[in-house]
Homo-oligomer: A and B are copies of this chain.
Amino acid sequence: MKRLKILIVFAICSLMAMAQTIGVDMGEESRILRSPNENVFLMFNIANGKPYYRVAYKHTRVIHDSFLGLELAKSKYASKGKEETDLMDGFKLIDSKTSTFDETWKPVWGETEEIRNHYNELAVTLKQEKTNREMIIRFRVYDDGVGFRYEFPQQKDLNYFVIKEEHTQFKMTGDHKAWWLPGDYDTQEQETQESRLSEIRGKFHDAVNWGNSSVATFSETGVQTALQMKSDDGLYINIHEAACINYPTMHLNLDDKNMVFESWLTPDATGMKGYMQTPCQTPWRTILVSDDARDMLSSNLILNLNEPCKIEDTSWIHPTKYVGVWWEMIVGKSSWSYTDEYPSVKLGETDYSKAKPNGRHGATTANVKKYIDFAAENGIDQVLVEGWNIGWEDWIGHSKDYVFDFVTPYPDFDIAYLNKYAHEKGVKLMMHHETSSSTLNYERHLEKAFNLMNKYGYDAVKTGYVGDIIPRGEYHFSQPMNNHYMHVVKEAAKHHIMVNAHEAVRPTGLCRTYPNMVGNESARGTEYEAFGGSKPDHTVILPFTRLQGGPMDYTPGILETQLNTWSDNPNFVHTTLVGQLALYVTMYSPLQMVADLPENYKKYNDAFQFIKDVPCDWDRTIYLEAEPADYITVARRDKKTNDWYIGGKCDENGHKSVLKLDFLDENYSYDCTIYQDAKNAHYEKNPKAYKITHKKVKKGDVLKLTMAPGGGFAVSLEARWNGEERCEH
């Protein structure tokens, strides 16, 4: 009995100690939850019927009291004949359950061979007595952050409802530094801005990508997720979402007086935000937190909050390196279109056999053969061909409905011959489906388009969503469009087709569930280097932001960074040549483009060796150094061998790295090849100055490497067995 009392006293003291450091509200409805290692702490409570939560990390507050709830539309679809009540207040806690989960799973592809999913869970059931409705808020606390979502069980008085707005708050503890993109319903291709939260409003207008084919901002303090922040007390905080399915994409709108972010969903054409049918739930709202920036990059919280793989046979899904008839069009040297004769075309009516070719068409049989040969010679798996199909003459800017049929090649693209030719050389063609955002048209042709791919042996498609959506009035990131992207991924899986969607919604870890979603663009890709450039720190912020939800088809590998050396394009790539090599390691993706032209690689054949060698599937990953928008250094082990690769990338200020190779296997020695910026290298003034050195290294050795402004380094470490020679007879 005495022992029990001591225990109780101890428990209370412990609780009070916590209460002091991060502030626990006591009371009947207060619930607390800690992460497995106790670093992350969450409190849930209800104040005057309104649910709220609070988060701390170690002894520091991360999220101040933040309310949770949803505003419902007074829609005729909601609850017939009566005024709709919001799911914002009037709640009582009627049940709460805690549990622990610990499981290790193997992704089909990824940065590591295994992923541990270890969290403590708290599920609170709230009842709104006035409406007789119940809602569950489920919290999962990991060692590197928190995820929570709203769940709506099927119940007598809640079967259908329409969301006017979700009001999930994230109350910041100060005027943090943030790396943000302007919130936009249609594009994610802005430059990342670095500023204090209080400076967002002033910088907003200039941050908008006004030149994009589709722009829809909504608030001068509205930003996108994943939003990376850093507090003055040294905490890295990242807000995003996981498993966004049958729901609009979330933005964050900042109350910049009180530093409270609130969810701001993407509306549909009618301004409504979500049509819900119980049982259902929102996506997970995620908060990563650590005092070490590297934890932001190694976190698997978002993948873990997604459902396990739903594709039974995944044997046909494979990491892929590819070249493409693409960069020459982006730069402006060749064209997607076949002819310049027609001011507009109508598929099925326009007779291309009578059209005069413009002489600049990229996707010709001869040109594609050149790329196939190049891929075969260099062990590259696939060749993307854009502009192969009819309709490119007027594909953009006209809100044209029937813009492509996805099955009819231009007269100068011999689809049967080229696929046969490629297959004979061990190479595959990669399909391209630009939809011009006419999603209805794409869906009408989807089955035939996939059948054509199956017929000719394509197993991967790059899709595109340039321009305003048709059905007109819809936005790229609304619930109906998010459902469209998922529809395509699911239908593709039935055809054993991998999907790499460009301009589609930013990912939220759905590739765990549908690993045929091998890539997305959903951010400012390398193409912008040909449109005026991206800032040198662009690729050292993307892994903190855009890549949280899944891999990006960033299309690195532009070794001829000065475009005017081979084209009329006056722009240059804002990295050094070596910086481009580094991206194959620092920007994880199972799909890696080798984006430059074959003739440009021939000019830098020794540096190109790294691109040939570097794999795109890994079994171990160690982030060695990281600071948002400054530098990232990461080591990864090839899934198929014991070879390691290290990539380092930095911003315009350069960076010096001291890398202790203590992660290597002591049973091996390593043939180390180092691709480095030369001493006077500079992304603008001297981008192609590099040196390549070879040496032997072993576990515990130290590499001291210097990255030039806008540069980086790339290291390959080929493993050689140290032990006794094994008998081969």
Q: Using A277-B346, A400-B277, A473-B473 as known contacts, say yes or no to A487 and B269 having CB atoms under 8 A apart.
A: no
Which listed segment binds B: A86-94, A308-316, A375-383, A440-448?
A440-448
A160 at the A/B interface (Cβ < 8 Å)? yes
Task: Determine if A397 and B80 form an interchain contact, defined as CB atoms under 8 angstroms apart.
Answer: yes
What separation, in Å, do the CA atoms of A398 and B472 have in the docked complex? 22
A202 contacts B by Cβ under 8 Å: no
Cβ contacts A390-406/B at 8 Å (1 or 0 each): 00001001111100000
Residues of chain B contacted by A723 (CB below 8 angstroms): none
Which residues of A33-78 have CB atoms within 8 Å of chain B's CB atoms? 75-77
A147 within 8 A of B: no
Q: Once the chains bind, are B483 and A401 in contact (CB under 8 Å)?
A: yes
Question: Are A275 and B401 in contact (CB-based, < 8 A)?
Answer: yes
Tell whether, in the assembled complex, residue A344 and residue B269 are in contact, meaning their CB atoms are under 8 Å apart: no
Q: Assess whether A398 is in contact with B277, with CB atoms less than 8 Å apart.
A: yes
Distance in Å from the Cβ of A225 to the closest Cβ of chain B?
25
18 other A-B residue contacts (CB within 8 Å) besides A80-B397, A270-B472: A77-B398, A160-B344, A160-B398, A160-B399, A162-B399, A268-B472, A269-B269, A269-B270, A269-B471, A269-B472, A269-B474, A270-B473, A275-B400, A277-B400, A401-B483, A440-B440, A443-B444, A471-B480
A residues 410-445 near B (Cβ < 8 Å) are 440, 443-444
Q: Is the C-beta of A21 less than 8 angstroms from some C-beta in chain B?
A: no
Q: Quick one: which of B162, B269, B278, B401 contacts A473, CB cutoff 8 A?
A: B269
Using Cβ atoms and an 8 Å threshold, which residues of chain B touch A471?
269, 440, 471, 474, 480
Copies of this polypeptide in the complex: 2
Is A154 located at the chain interface by the 8 A CB criterion? yes
Is the Cβ of A343 less than 8 Å from the Cβ of B473? no
Question: Which B residues are in CB contact (< 8 Å) with A278?
Answer: 344
- A717 touches B (CB below 8 Å): no
Residue from the set A156, A399, A444, A447 with the largest chain B CB neighbour count within 10 Å: A399
Interface residue A408 (Cβ < 8 Å from any Cβ of B): no
Instruction: List residues of chain B with CB within 8 A of the CB of A518.
Output: none
Measured in the bound complex, the distance between the Cα atoms of B322 and A459 in whole Å is 47
Asked if A571 lies at the interface with its beta carbon under 8 angstroms from chain B, I say no
Chain A residues numbered 277-304 whose CB sits less than 8 Å from any CB in chain B: 277-278
Select from chain B the residue with minimum beta-carbon distance to A77.
B399
Residues of B with C-beta under 8 A to A239: none
Distance in angstroms from A234 CB to nearest chain B CB is: 46
Which B residues lie within 8 Å of A160 (CB)?
344, 394, 398-400
Q: Does A195 contact B (CB under 8 A)?
A: no
Query: How many Å lie between the Cα of A473 and that of B75 in the bound state?
Result: 13
Residues of B within 8 A of A275 (CB): 399-401, 472
Contact A397 B77 (CB under 8 A): yes
Q: How far is the CA of A471 from the CA of B473 in the complex (A)?
A: 10
Q: Which residues of B contact A159 (CB under 8 A)?
A: 343-344, 394, 398
CB proximity of A419 to chain B, nearest CB, Å: 25
| Contact across chains for A344 and B154 when beta carbons are under 8 A apart | yes
Closest to A469 in B: B471
Chain B residues closer than 8 Å to A268, beta-carbon distance: 472-473
With a CB–CB cut-off of 8 A, which chain B residues contact A272? 472
